[in-house]
Amino acid sequence: MRRKPIPKFKSSQEAIEFGRNATVAEVDVIKNIRGMCLRMIERLDIDIKNDIKVLDLKMDFATQAQFMREAIEAARGSNGRR
């Protein structure tokens, strides 16, 4: 069985809907991607502080990390074992 790809979420609602229907394996992937986003934010903090492109990139990673957290919480809400 082929798994569907994890999308780049565009809204909280999209993330929550995905999370409600996510498999345990998909939730694990979301957790890993969220962790990578958070590590990239930290790395960008160290590398460059005031470049507008870097700030935009940090904001994108932060937004995706937040959406992924919402998807994870939705998955937990629909099935406590995730």
Q: Which helix (H) or strand (E) holds 1?
A: none
Give mean pLDDT, residues 60-64: 96
Residue 46 in this model has a pLDDT that exceeds 90? no
* Global pTM exceeds 0.85: no
Each domain of the chain, given as residue ranges in start order, spans 34-82
Distance from C-alpha of 4 to C-alpha of 14, rounded to nearest angstrom: 15
Secondary structure (H, E, C), 20-70: HHCCHHHHHHHHHHHHHHHHHHHHHHHHCCCCHHHHHHHHHHHHHHHHHHH
Chain segment 11-44, per-residue pLDDT in tens: 999 999 999 999 999 999 999 999 999 999 988 8
pLDDT at 54: 83
pLDDT at 2: 54
Q: How far apart are the first and last CA of the chain?
A: 20
